[in-house]
Structure 1
């Protein structure tokens, strides 16, 4: 692969956006490689979690504007490109495995949208987020019109999108965009620790929980109770549940444990 690095270790895959001279801006080659990597994570049962990060002190500066100019006068080509983005991005959002975005430096435009597609965002203290689209006369993409309002609320999402301002790491945490902020040198280990922890969880319980959470804001209470009933019936029958109960009764350490924060 030319624009990303894809590594797997101990059941955790890592996608590293790797166009450092362009602050990991997304071009056509990168979207193809991201689509391939996401499909690999989806289809490989030995991969239990995914970390997405960027190289050289940046997460992703957004879409590569120079690459965009190639289709400036071809609306059909632009729409075809976006439909391709949408196919793999939807796979990522609905991936039945934990997805952690480790954001260092800039997560602008499509890079911000890509981070929001993860289950959890861990930021460095120097991370910066911006829905920069308004500055170049464009509409938010990479799913941000769906994900951002669900995280920060409609009015705050409007303000962030309309103003195209930069959101620093501490504000991102306070708004719920990021789960926490750590020093840049601690970011890779912290993101991997969380991914490794979630990789040890029951894959069935995680899958069912994520699927329910992803539709919870689209359904009424009765529908979610029905989903809870069905999902719990499946989870009760898994070997992971049985093993966890046995470990508890035998006073053995659990297989799944959330990593303690290091102060």
Structure 2
């Protein structure tokens, strides 16, 4: 994609997206914004893609926003605001992508890079991963939706501690806190992420996507509204060819279209 700073590769039914600015620890700049926008749109439209693995090149996941980008701007305040809103467009598209997304985090996921990691549905960390809400170190509040995502991941009090301390969180602690689901050796990270992603190869993509969109808004939706939405979408599921075949197999005691996973990770 743009200047090859975002790479897209297909491995079976999984799209592997790689942030590719290793010389800058994959810090977010305008080329990544353009590349991620294009890549996410392509993945959303490709019905053969059933899952996504998001990772970084060169031994790091993402160092957050490139603080050198826009240096010398006369209206730096407006530049920063506009930069965040521009990146939020692809971040929102990634968060709402109707396919399971797995972040494979090696090295540092720092600042807005932590936000990007947590935009995924699942996070697999290498044993050398480090998660850092580094904003306070440079006089900023957390951004790129981290103030929204982080408390939902770890709870309000832990989110405050992570943001206020700006400390490095190693992989094992990240799992204990809820920032990641599992730790694997760095050499096995890509294979572990792909293996996990491939369990969705035969899953009903639209069903998972609808469930994901509802759950992403659970904390802003009252129970009554949620029940109404569940019922409406369940009606759509019941009218699908996938559901008809799945139910036929169920009653005929034939192998399921999607048997599900036998273990979480």
1:233 to 228, 232, 235: 235
The corresponding residue for 1:258 is: 261
The Cα shift of 1:66 comes to: 1.8
The corresponding residue for 1:116 is: 118
| Structure 2 Cα separation of the partners of residues 147 and 254 of structure 1 | 33
The corresponding residue for 1:42 is: 44
| Structure 2 Cα separation of the partners of residues 101 and 198 of structure 1 | 15
Gaps of 5+ in 2: none
Moved over 6 A (4+): none
The 10-residue stretch of structure 1 (197-206 or 114-123) with the greater mean CA deviation from structure 2: 197-206
| Aligned residues of 1:194 and 1:258 also touching (Cα < 8 A) | no
- SS at structure 2 position matched to 1:65: coil
The corresponding residue for 1:96 is: 98
The corresponding residue for 1:29 is: 31
Gaps of 5+ in 1: none
The corresponding residue for 1:146 is: 148
| Structure 2 Cα separation of the partners of residues 98 and 229 of structure 1 | 22
The alignment covers a number of residue pairs equal to 262
- SS at structure 2 position matched to 1:8: strand
2:60 to 42, 58, 61: 58
| Structure 2 Cα separation of the partners of residues 254 and 227 of structure 1 | 25
Cα RMSD after superposing both structures: 1.9
TM-score by length of 1: 0.92
The corresponding residue for 1:16 is: 18
The corresponding residue for 2:186 is: 184
The Cα shift of 1:72 comes to: 6.7
The Cα shift of 1:68 comes to: 4.5
TM-score by length of 2: 0.91
The 10-residue stretch of structure 1 (202-211 or 231-240) with the greater mean CA deviation from structure 2: 231-240
* Residues 225 and 60 of structure 1: CA distance in aligned 2, closer, same or farther (over 3 Å): same
The Cα shift of 1:109 comes to: 0.5
| Structure 1 Cα separation of the partners of residues 182 and 203 of structure 2 | 21
The Cα shift of 1:105 comes to: 1.0
* Per-residue deviation, residues 29-82 of structure 1 (Å, max 9, x unmatched): 111111111111122222222110011211111122222424374333332222
The corresponding residue for 2:82 is: 80
The Cα shift of 1:183 comes to: 1.2
| Aligned residues of 2:111 and 2:132 also touching (Cα < 8 A) | yes
